Every structure is written in structure tokens, then in C-alpha cells.
Structure 1
Amino acid sequence: MSALRKASLRACNALTSSNSLMPYAARVVSTSPRKDQSAVALSFEDAVAAKTCPFRKTLEPYTGAPAREEIATEPVGVQPFSSVPGPQGLPFVGTLFQYFKKDGPKFSKLFEVQKQRSEEFGPIYFEQLGNFRTVVVSSPWEYNKLIRAEGKFPNRKPMDPISHYRLERGMGLGLVTAQGEEWYKQRSVVSKKMLKLSEVASFAGEMGQVADDFVSRLETVRDGDSEVQNLDKELFKWAMESIGTFLFEERLGCLGKQPTSVTQSFIENLEGFFKALQPLLYNLPFYKLFPTKMYKTFEGHSDKLFEIGHGLVEKKMAEMENNKGSKSEFLQYLMNDGNMNSQEVASVAVEMLTGAVETVTSATTWCLYTLAKNPRAQQKMYQEICEAKAQAGGQLSAEQIAKMPYVKAVVKETLRKYPITYSTSRYIDSDLEIAGYQIPAGSHVQANLYGMYHNADLFYQPEEFIPERWLKSGPQMDPVVKSLSQLVWGHGARMCIGRRIAEQEMHLALTKIVEKFSLSYHHDDVEPVLNTVMTPDRPVRICFTPRE
């Protein structure tokens, strides 16, 4: 028995030899992500009475493969679910303990694990990680079957730590974690403002002004080598200021010489929130039994983020009530047309702030890095900017910037190489044949985006940065493969609600930065790691040299 497993069993003994489980004796907790998936409900009353740890069985030595139920009937030529290949693991926990071995796979590199597993097992494989069972698909044509079969209320894997926190605090599950009709009600309201191009484009002018101010700030915060120390922090400030023009229709003061304490606190807690969330998502959910150290950290950051977000919303609502000149079309729309109360409105606003700032910051960091590492592509983008500016009479509007094809291609190619969301997924509503196997209703199925984006059979020279592949004048690409670029934002009715805003913000900022600066990078290569989203593994020290 490994040292790790022995230590875990000692922890079980310590738990059951004390009264630490007694407060939970009347509760029944399921470790299954969904009620309709096969899993064991753990009765803590029985566990305490028997002086056993409810997770003990997951720690005992076992050499067999994870059990999977046979499907009663399969179409002719289609293999049963139990035949789907995949790595072997232990009962209940599957391959979870492999991720704690020194030379084993790592949660921080889960995108590489999926890529390697797909190379070993083919276009589809099954894996169990603790209480989470999943089917991973690495063929765009096969995953398209799931997309085409999607119903009105698509369900994806909830972020259990967030759901647990919100329920403990007496909140609704919110737009990101809710499922079914509860999700559909909120989504239907919010999408009318956030996914309509005309609505988002109406804020392009204000977001363009924020981008101008950010470029000016970059010029002042450069050091003697023209590098920007703590570039991620500066990008956080820009992203927060930019989304603020949409949510509150006012400037938050993030880009001043001395950013407000609220801004600094929000940025610090947002970084801590996502770093704590990553391990909580994949480890055994002990935090549901008692508040673990990591969960307490996550809880503290969450409390602070909601406190700041609620404060911003309440301040804006008070201003709108007392001052007819103060307005926020988005917040007013949620309250009036969306029939949301103040707490629901604040919850949506906080979700938009946290999601938008982290996503846009990470994506823009990768864009700047790839441009700095690829001077040919950077020069081509600069030429497009200069030509468009000349045609516009010397001044580009935000609307014109949003239509520049090479700028868009740079963003698409960056997110192919470094997909901030390395996978997209669904719980399927009905039995579905995928890659020759019958996958039962209720199964979790995810697209191995990173693996597909880096597959030489799908993309020519996948490790090279080639924005031209996304241009209409570029090499012809299979339409299904080309549509993969959209999946980094999700798909269907659960596509990222802030996608339109994020793309507009990035197009504006990148255009203005490249117009003003020549970018270069003179340090060791940056590698991607997961902090819930894909982020650089070290500070990205880009040199911003003003153009003559």
C-alpha cells in the first residue's frame, strides 16, 4: 500500500475515532454530480454508528477497473458503454490517486493529460476522477453529434464548490451554476443584452476610451528595459474598468495613478478565488463534510468578492434613484424587464465581473505573448491597422476596429494554441452513439479542445502560430474543424454569456497596443497551467517599445 493511501486511511481512523462526524449524522450526502448518475449515497448516520469513514472504501487497495453498467440494448454495430477504452483505476475514486504521484498526471496540466490519453486510447475514452465520471471526445465530428442533439435546457458539470458556497450563504445558484428552468429563466433575460451584437457594439466607444487610457498607463509603468512588471495586475485593472462601462456605465477608477483600494482588493481576491477553486473541483469533496483549509480560503475570497460586487451595485442603484442623470441600462433592464430583485441583480453583476475580468485578462495576456514571440504576425497586424487608419482618414473608430480580419484571426489563433477553457461539456439528455459506442443518458461528455487544437491531423503545423489559417483568403479548412474555434467559448444555449463583450474588449485593446508599441519577449518560454482557466506559469515580462 502506498504511503499516500496509508496516510489517507490514518485520516479516516482519526475522523471516526472522534466525534467529528456527529454533527452530520442525520445528513445524507451524495458524491455524485447528478442524481440520475449511478453513485452511492453516503449515510453518515450509518458511518458514525459503525465507526467507519464514509470514504474508507475509496482508499482500500484494489486492482480492478471501474465498474460501468451495460446498456440493455445497443443499435447493431454499436458497442456498449462498458467497452469504451480508458485508463484503469480504483473503485469509487478511479484514477484520482494517480494525480498525487510525483511522476503522475497533474490537475494543473489536465489539458495535456487529455491530449496524451486521446493519443493512447483514440477519439473517445472514459475516466473516473473521484466522484466525477466523464467521457472525453477528441474528434470534432463525433462531438458534433452531441451539439446537434442538445435540448432546450442543456446541463453541464456544475462547479460544485461555487454551488456549495452559494447554497450555504442562502443565495440562488446563479447564472453560471444553475441548471434546468432556473438557469433558462436567468439566461433568457441576460442574453438579450449581452449576446446581441448591436447592444454590445453600443458600448464600443466607452470601451475604446478605456483602451486608450490603458495604453497611456502602459507607457508610464514601463521600467528601464521597457518591460511592464506585474503585467497581469495591469490587465486586471483594464478588464475591470472596461466591463464597468457596460455594467455601471461609469468609470471605476482602476487606471488612475493610484487605483482605489476597492480595485486592489477585488483583483487580489479574484486571483485567490480561482487558485483555490482549481484543486477543490477535482479532489474528493471533503469540504462538504467539514470546512477544509482550502475551502476556507476559497470561502474568504468569495465573501470579499460578493461584498465588493454588492457594494458597487447598491451604490449605483442609490445613485440612479437619487440622481436622474445617473443610469445603467443593464441594471435597470434586469430590475424592470427581468423582474429581478436587488439581490438577484447584484448576483448577476458579481458573476459578470468575476467571469469577465479573469477570462479577458488571461486571453489578452496570451495574445500579447504570442504577438511578442511572433514578429512576422505582429508586423502584419500593424500593417492592417495602418492601412485601415489611412482609409478612415487618420482615426479609427471602435466600430471599425471590431471589423478588422487579421486582428480577429490573431485572437482566434491565440485561443487555439492556449484555449483559456481547455474543454467544453454536457450531461447528455438521452442515449447517444458517439465514436461507435452507446453512451447512456445522464453521462458527462466533454470535448478535448486542447488535444484537438494541437492535433496535426486537424491543423497544419499545430505548434506554429499561423493567424492566416482563419482568414477567408487562407487555406481551405474543413467547416467542422473551422467551427472548433467557437468551442473555446462553449456552444449552444450555454455559450459564454460574456463572449461578445470579451471579444470586443480584446480587439480594441490589442489594436491600440500594437499601434502604439512594438512587442518583444526575451525570457524563457512561458508554459500554460490551469488555475481554473488556462494561465501562464510565470510572470509574462513583455517589452513594450514605443513605435517611431
Structure 2
Amino acid sequence: MFTKYASRSLLRTSKVSSKSGVGPATVSMREYYYKTLAEDTKESKPPGWDSALPYEKIPGQKPLTILENLLRLLPVVGKLHKSPILKMLNRSRKQYGDVVVSNSILGKPDSVYIYNVKDIENVLRNSGTYPVRKILEIFVYYRRVVRKDIFQDFGGILTVQGEDWFKVRSIVNPILMQSKVIHQYMSKLEGVANELVENMRHFSRLNENHQMPDDFENELYKWALESVGIMALNKHFGCLDLTTPQDSDPKKLVSAILDTFDHLYLIEITPPLWKLFSTPLYKKFVKNLDFINSVIIKSIDEALAEPIDDSIPEHQLSILHRLGKRDKKVAFTMVIDMLISGLDTTGKTLGSILYFLAKNPEKQAKLREEILKVLPEKDSDITAERLEKLSYLRAVIKESTRIAPAAFVSFRTTVKDLVLGGYQIPKGTNVTLVSICTSNSSEHFKDPEKFMPERWLRETDDEYSFKKVNPFASLPFGYGPRKCIGMRFANLELELALIKIIRSFELSWEHPDMEFASHLLYGISNPLKLTVKEVTK
């Protein structure tokens, strides 16, 4: 069992050392998770290498002086700003071209931004058996150094590369990446979706305009956490219960996870001074993550304390118990990672979808018509067979994630020399694949600004048909072996929530157009003040 991971172990070691983050440990850690690149493969140079321009000729923003960098970053230090990332990236492409280098700033490594879909495909198809991608260094350091007493010698799938990463995916994929397994959690997820609908009904009665409150997006984050909790731990946190106090651990957990993403965002865009000394932001990050882990580990301990009858079929077990039969360390870290990473991403995505449907009533009506046909009664059972018939529902999700993908770029570290856009890209280069620009470009999608779920229907065969689009133009969940491990869970959560919401309400939008921005993840940046009207059928 996990007795050595008990929550009291975390609380006992919550003091942050003033020297956490200093050089040597960071260097050895980097060597550990990039060891795949150190292999001597003796590969030949790719076609066109000799005629390609050298890496040093790649255009882009040149390094600034330390003073200039600090002045440029002052507006975001201590105050969070949402960045209009799509406009910024498109402007950079227009100024520099399809291959752009972002030079090192105060210790941060270079990254090459790739905008051309053929180059994106080239990178992804040449990522090898064990694709390497950028990992959040401070997150790795927290688990492998600061809280090594909790995570021992294994920091989870988010902290490993190469063969170590592949071994973890081999354990996790049969459970998290198979539709048949995922659908076994359908009835429990449906219950969480019903809770969200009831809260929307409650909020609509609080004002004569039947509008959702300014902080309604927070309800979507609570729904996301509850959904993951019910699958991962068979636990109901109570986040959506309106009678649960705001200062309760479950509701504080939602805020803490969102704060962690804010901290990671600021850490990523500012000089990595935390490697030299414990900055105030670093201390906030550690304290916040300590709280998150204490709550989740307590829930894990409680789940493991309950006796499990050996006669219970595996499909009725939580993910914690199913993975625990294969590898206890993987089960422990995977549940923590699911609860942290499954909140902001899925919550943001549902918020975008609801906005697009409210803004496009004809698309919303078409979706409702499909749902009513397959599920004529409000209490009709949702089964895997019925879900399979809801093709327009899946198209709505695909179209929303095309326009507003929460993960708007993909990262890779090249494992071999490549030629991209006529430039030499050496092995070991950090590459950022700017998929949000390709998915919002008229090069690949007709009228890309329009919300057109019909693009994704197999029967669509006109100028909007996805059959004419490069499959690498829209990658909201990534590609290949490192595709988002929570993709199937996220899609099922979204499908069930949308069925329940659209089956219950007509949504409308009575405000100026929503603004979308990035704060580590991409999504709506204004209050989601939807107007809802009860569906009587």
C-alpha cells in the first residue's frame, strides 16, 4: 500500500528551504530527464541539410540586455495579465516567417517556433519511439528534490522522458486510453453533470434575466474536479454542493489548482531566478502545491483504507485501484496528476463550447435536435451505443477545440537533426509547434473564424469538409505516443455535460463578443454570463 506516502508526511516537511533550487541539483535533474538525447545514434544528416541555412540564421527576437528584459517583464511581475496569444503569434509569423527563434533570456533555453503545417508534421513524425518534450522544470524540481520524501524516486509521468516515460505509458494506456474502459464510468459522470445542471437552474432563478453569475466559470472547474475525482478515486468531493462552505478543503482545492497554473505561467515568462534563490513566487508555488498534495493524498489514503472485495469486477473499481494492481507508484502519482491537470483544461474547454453554442443559436438548435432524437426523454439512459449516434455532438467539441484549444501549442525536443523551413535544426533543439495558428488559418480551414461543426461530419463534402484539411492542422490533444493521456476522459466528460445542459436549457449571449487569451492555457477571458431558458420538452 501507500503508507509511506501518507498526507502527514507532506505536512511534516512543508517548510521551504531558502536554498531550494540552487544549481547542482537542477543540472543533474536536467541530465536525468534528457538522457535520451545523449545516446550516440550515428544518424546520417537529413536530405537538404547541406543546402539549408544554419541555425544561427533563423530570424527572430534577438537577446535583450538584462535591464531591458527586466523592464519588459515588470508589467507582469506581481500582477497577472491575460495575453492575446493568437494575435501575438500571428504577428510574429508575419514579421519573421514560418520558422522563428525565441532567443535565450536570462538562463532560459532557446526555442524555435514552427508555423508551417508540413514542418509540424515533419517534427511529429520524426520524434522517435520515445518522444521528448519540454517539461516544466520547477515542477520536476519540486517532486524530485523539494518533496522527494513524498514522491521518493518517482515523480510521475510528467517528470520523466525516454524509456522511463514509455514504461509508465505502457502501464497507464490500457486503462486511460481505451474507450471501452472509459465508458464504464459513464453513469457516475452523468451524475456529476446533473449536479452542474441543477446549479445552473439555481443561478438562473436568482435574477430576472436568468443569467449566470460573473464567476460561473468557476462552476465548470468544480464540475471538472468532481468528474476526475469520481473516476480516479470514486470520491465525491462536494465542490458542486452549494451548501458546502467556501473555506472547505474541496473548494479551496479548486482555487489552489487554478493558482498553481497562474504561478507556473509567471514562472515560465520571467527569468528563472528561483534556481538561484527562493523568490517570493517560488515560495508561493511550493506552499500552494503542498496544500494541493495534502488534500489529494489524504483522499488517496481514505480510498485505500476502504476494504475492496476481491469479487468486485475490475470495471467497478476506481482508476487508483485499477492502476494500483499494476504499479502502486504509478497509481499514486497518476491520480495526483489527473486531479491537477484535468481541472483547468477541461473546465476551460467546456466554457468555450458553451459560449460558441450560445453565440450560434442555429448550431445549438441542431445539436439539441440530435440529442432529442437519440434521448427523447430527460431521464433517458445515456449508453455507449446512444453516444455513438451523436456525431454532431462530437463535431461541436472538435470545432470548439479547433478555434480555442486549451493547449494551443505542442512541445518537442528534436531527437535527430531536421531541416525545417529551409533551416538546419540540430538534434536537441527545443521546438514549439504553433498549432493554434494553423487551426485558425484560412490556409487550412475555410472561414476559420466561423463556428462550423459541420466541418467534422463525415458526410460533409463541400468546401468546409475536413477531408480536404491536413490532419496536422488542428491538434488540440497533441499527436502520437505523447498525445494527451486524458483525451478520452475529457471527451466523455464534455459529451455528457453538453447533453445534459443542451437538453435542459437554451443558451444565449447578450454581451459583446468574448475575448480569448492565454494564461498558460488558452480560453475565454471574460465572465461567462450566459442567459439560460428552460427547455420544456
What TM-score comes out, normalization by structure 1 length? 0.81
Contact 1:382 / 1:515 at 8 angstroms: preserved in 2? Answer: yes
Alpha-carbon distance in structure 2 between the residues aligned to 1:115 and 1:33? 32
Q: What does residue 536 of structure 1 align with?
A: 524
- Offset of residue 273 of structure 1: 0.9
- Offset of residue 388 of structure 1: 2.2
Deviations, residues 349-374 of structure 1 (Å, cap 9, x unaligned):
11101111221101001111111111
Q: Which of 273, 280, 290 is residue 293 of structure 1 equivalent to? A: 280
| 2:230 maps to 1:245 | yes
Q: Which of 83, 87, 106 is residue 61 of structure 2 equivalent to? A: 87
Alpha-carbon distance in structure 1 between the residues aligned to 2:70 and 2:499? 44
Deviations, residues 400-429 of structure 1 (Å, cap 9, x unaligned):
235411111111111111110110010011
- Offset of residue 324 of structure 1: 8.3
RMSD between aligned alpha carbons?
A: 3.2
| 2:446 maps to 1:471 | no
**Letter of the 1:337 counterpart:** R
- Offset of residue 161 of structure 1: 1.9
Contact 1:112 / 1:451 at 8 angstroms: preserved in 2? Answer: no
- Offset of residue 226 of structure 1: 1.3
Q: What does residue 232 of structure 1 align with?
A: 217
What are the residue-to-residue correspondences of 1:167-206 with 2, within 5 Å? 167-170=145-148, 171=151, 172-206=154-188
**Letter of the 2:212 counterpart:** V
- Unmatched runs of 5 consecutive residues or more in structure 2: 1-17, 35-44
| 2:87 maps to 1:112 | yes
Contact 2:401 / 2:476 at 8 angstroms: preserved in 1? Answer: yes
**Letter of the 1:451 counterpart:** C
Aligned partner of residue 519 in structure 1, secondary structure? strand
Pick closer, same or farther for the CA change 1:398–1:210 going to 2, 3 Å.
farther
Alpha-carbon distance in structure 2 between the residues aligned to 1:404 and 1:528? 28
Which segment drifts farther, 92-101 or 461-470?
92-101
Q: What does residue 455 of structure 1 align with?
A: 441
Alpha-carbon distance in structure 2 between the residues aligned to 1:35 and 1:334? 25
Deviations, residues 244-263 of structure 1 (Å, cap 9, x unaligned):
22112343333333236222
Deviations, residues 212-236 of structure 1 (Å, cap 9, x unaligned):
2321222123221212222122112
- Offset of residue 307 of structure 1: 0.6
- Offset of residue 29 of structure 1: 5.9
Q: What does residue 497 of structure 1 align with?
A: 485
| 2:298 maps to 1:311 | yes
Contact 1:193 / 1:199 at 8 angstroms: preserved in 2? Answer: yes
**Letter of the 2:115 counterpart:** S
Contact 1:95 / 1:127 at 8 angstroms: preserved in 2? Answer: no
Which segment drifts farther, 423-432 or 442-451?
442-451
Aligned partner of residue 320 in structure 2, secondary structure? helix
Which segment drifts farther, 363-372 or 287-296?
287-296
Deviations, residues 36-90 of structure 1 (Å, cap 9, x unaligned):
99xxxxxxxxxxxxxxxxxxxxxxxxxxxxxxxxx99963532222222222333
Percent identical: 25
- Offset of residue 95 of structure 1: 7.3
Alpha-carbon distance in structure 2 between the residues aligned to 1:350 and 1:22? 26
Q: Which of 202, 208, 211 is residue 193 of structure 2 equivalent to? A: 211
Alpha-carbon distance in structure 1 between the residues aligned to 2:428 and 2:171? 27
Q: What does residue 258 of structure 2 align with?
A: 271
**Letter of the 1:336 counterpart:** K
**Letter of the 2:226 counterpart:** E
What are the residue-to-residue correspondences of 1:335-484 with 2, within 5 Å? 335-338=324-327, 340-341=328-329, 344-390=330-376, 395-399=380-384, 400-401=386-387, 403-474=389-460, 475=462, 476-477=465-466, 481-484=470-473
Alpha-carbon distance in structure 2 between the residues aligned to 1:393 and 1:364? 21
| 2:128 maps to 1:151 | yes
Q: What does residue 12 of structure 1 align with?
A: none
Alpha-carbon distance in structure 2 between the residues aligned to 1:221 and 1:488? 31
Aligned partner of residue 531 in structure 2, secondary structure? strand
Contact 1:31 / 1:285 at 8 angstroms: preserved in 2? Answer: no
Alpha-carbon distance in structure 2 between the residues aligned to 1:381 and 1:23? 52
Which segment drifts farther, 362-371 or 232-241?
232-241
Which structure ranks higher in relative contact order (CA pairs < 8 Å, sequence separation ≥ 6)? 2
- Unmatched runs of 5 consecutive residues or more in structure 1: 1-20, 38-70
Q: What does residue 47 of structure 1 align with?
A: none
Alpha-carbon distance in structure 2 between the residues aligned to 1:24 and 1:362? 31
Pick closer, same or farther for the CA change 1:479–1:82 going to 2, 3 Å.
farther
**Letter of the 1:331 counterpart:** L
Pick closer, same or farther for the CA change 1:324–1:386 going to 2, 3 Å.
closer
Task: Report which of the two structures shows the higher radius of gyration computed on alpha carbons.
Answer: 1
Alpha-carbon distance in structure 2 between the residues aligned to 1:404 and 1:26? 53
Alpha-carbon distance in structure 2 between the residues aligned to 1:98 and 1:279? 13
- Offset of residue 145 of structure 1: 0.8
**Letter of the 2:231 counterpart:** F
Pick closer, same or farther for the CA change 1:323–1:519 going to 2, 3 Å.
same
